Structure 1
Amino acid sequence: MVNKFIVVILLFFSSVSFAKEVSDEYLSQLVDGWNLLAPSELYDFIPENIDYKTMNSPEFQKKIDNAGNQINSLMDGKVIEIAGFMVPLKTKGSSVTQFLLVPEAGQCIHVPPPPLNQTLLVEMPENPTNIRDIYIPIIVTGKVSVGSQSFDIADSGYSLTDVTVENLTFKYEDDL
């Protein structure tokens, strides 16, 4: 469910010029990075043809919230490359030293924020990057540390250090 939405959002913003051009196959790998943080088995309890009453029941919503708080401890120390959107936390002029990476554009500016397992704290104190608009897709590569942290706008289940940040664009075939 999250994957389809991410692809649609990333395609929507592909008309803007960015630094790194990606193919559809490469984009799939970037999107799959979010699955590593929140394995799909966490949501296996959701029926295929869920009805409105079940979906909005307090019990079902509690299960959804609990699944979103599960983090994958096996990710600790791994280097990942993942596409998402920047939500700046700490800035220096036009640069950012700390931000949240989220899978969908505009998250954290509305309630509720994304789940803990879909929010990464990115720290770049020694090597800040330019601030991006929250609707501009980026690719972040870094080393994962597992552990939750709380901020006013959202909670994070992971941190990324030793980070590189690139803007994202799409490679189009000439015959499209």
Structure 2
Amino acid sequence: MSRKQQHFAAIGGNEQDAIELLTQDHNRVKDLFEKFEMLQTEEGAESDKLDLAQQICTELTIHTKLEEEIFYPVAIEEIGQLDIMDEAAVEHAAAREMVEQLAAMAPEDECFDAKVKVLQDMVEQHIAEQEGKMFPRLQKNRMDLAALGERMSRRRRELHFIWTWACWAPRWTGRG
């Protein structure tokens, strides 16, 4: 797969069902956390740590919006309000708070690495619950995961554009 194809797939440009799309997100963010862990023992890796933390926060922000705006409402309609849905809402709120805290920090700040690690633990727990409990129920229900995946892919591209513009526009326009 070319670099361009990989980038397009990463922002939701491939035909994927909803569960494949979310699982791909899960794998991507787990890889980013692993890369961050490897940098924790390196001297002078603050810039790389900041880049990875920003990537993690971006991925989680977009992923959370996709789940909350599109995936969860359809899932609830299909299989009902499960305890895991309530837990996911609480986990999302906690992750959002942690992302906001990390956005206001620098890698040199006390507890930066610890906050990334706590966020990693929260995300990995969320992923295990989702992939182990929610996804299998949805797959058994025979809902139209392909159509849902298409909706989510379109929204992912929109969110990616918005996020990129919000992050880079101040630098491009001289206001940042």
- TM-score, structure 1 as length reference: 0.26
Larger RCO, structure (CA 8 Å, separation 6 or more): 2
Q: Which has the higher strand share?
A: 1
